[in-house]
């Protein structure tokens, strides 16, 4: 039997998603919990890796097992064996051809910026505190230059293992509610640090350090050294992973983190 799970986690105290022998990871904690409920060793496969400090609202994973449990039994049993900063939100029995990574047709991220003069003790690990005022109209104008299929080498981390820097960005939308700014990004797949590097460029344009046209110049340079800073991990959320309707993969509410 193949089973898919929706996973939510606060990434602050994890060294990313991927299991490591020397560090605490989301995959490591999840595999231990699933193996206890399944009563045999289990390896879980995710829709995508997230870095240290990055959060997940609907990370999707799958695993195989011979153990028979109801959905409720899997959900409650796994959650009972997980730490408080990670949990299962849904369970779905899927066909054997389902793959959490390769069956995905869209991935969505949101980056949150707290844009005010004072820092926040509540949101210190949930948003990037950027105190210089940001102009979201300029940020959106910068983002519009990056939509579509391009060579995103200038927004790619040096340790990125992707075979090609060519990606297609379907959406970059900047919105604001009071002193919180959200940047929503959608694509089939992303390069390592791509979203955070996009945000770094957009923030420099939003606070007036760079002109709007700089975003296109950085993109065309295909040179990471021409870009801006890599925005901090704490503002980034893997919001959702979408699949063909045949798999009936659930979606979850992101409230109150997102509006």
- Residue-wise pLDDT for 146-180, tens only, equals 999 999 999 999 889 899 999 999 999 999 999 99
User: What is the CATH code of the structural domain delimited by 2-103?
Assistant: 3.30.70.580
Q: How big is the CA angle at 170 (ends 215 and 202), to the nearest 5 degrees?
A: 25
Q: Where are the domains of the chain?
A: 2-103, 106-238
pLDDT digits (tens, 9 = 90+) for 26-44: 999 999 999 999 999 999 9
Mean pLDDT (whole number) for 35-61: 97
Q: How far apart are CA 123 and CA 20, in angstroms?
A: 28
- Answer yes or no: is 237 a known binding residue: no
CATH of domain 106-238: 3.30.70.660
Residues with catalytic roles = 51
Question: Can you tell me the distance from the alpha carbon of 44 to that of 2, in angstroms, rounded to the nearest whole number?
Answer: 11
Structure-block tokens of residue 32: 């231990």
- Region of poorest pLDDT, from 28-32, 73-77, 255-259: 255-259
- Fold equal for 2-103 and 106-238: yes
């Amino acid at each position: 039997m193949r089973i898919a799970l929706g996973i939510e986690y606060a990434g602050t105290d994890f060294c990313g998603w991927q299991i490591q022998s020397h560090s605490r990871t989301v995959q490591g904690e999840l595999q231990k919990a699933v193996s206890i409920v399944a009563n045999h060793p289990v390896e879980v496969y995710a829709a995508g890796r997230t870095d240290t400090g990055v959060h997940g609202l609907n990370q999707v994973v799958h695993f195989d097992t011979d153990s028979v449990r109801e959905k409720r039994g899997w959900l409650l049993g796994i959650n009972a064996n997980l730490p408080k900063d990670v949990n299962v939100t849904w369970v779905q029995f899927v066909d054997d051809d389902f793959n959490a990574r390769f069956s995905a047709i869209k991935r969505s991220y949101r980056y949150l910026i707290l844009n005010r003069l004072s820092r926040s003790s509540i949101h210190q690990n949930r948003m990037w505190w950027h105190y210089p005022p940001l102009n979201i109209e300029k940020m959106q104008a910068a983002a519009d230059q990056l939509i579509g299929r391009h060579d995103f080498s200038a927004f790619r981390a040096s340790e990125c293992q992707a075979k090609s820097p060519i990606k297609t960005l379907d959406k970059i939308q900047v919105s604001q509610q009071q002193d919180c700014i959200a940047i929503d990004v959608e694509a089939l797949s992303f390069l390592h640090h791509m979203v955070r590097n996009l945000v770094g460029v957009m923030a420099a344009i939003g606070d007036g350090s760079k002109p709007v046209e700089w975003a296109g110049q950085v993109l065309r340079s295909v040179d990471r050294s021409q870009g801006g800073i890599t925005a901090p991990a704490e503002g980034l959320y893997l919001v959702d992973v979408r699949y063909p309707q045949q798999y009936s993969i659930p979606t979850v509410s992101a409230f109150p983190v997102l509006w």
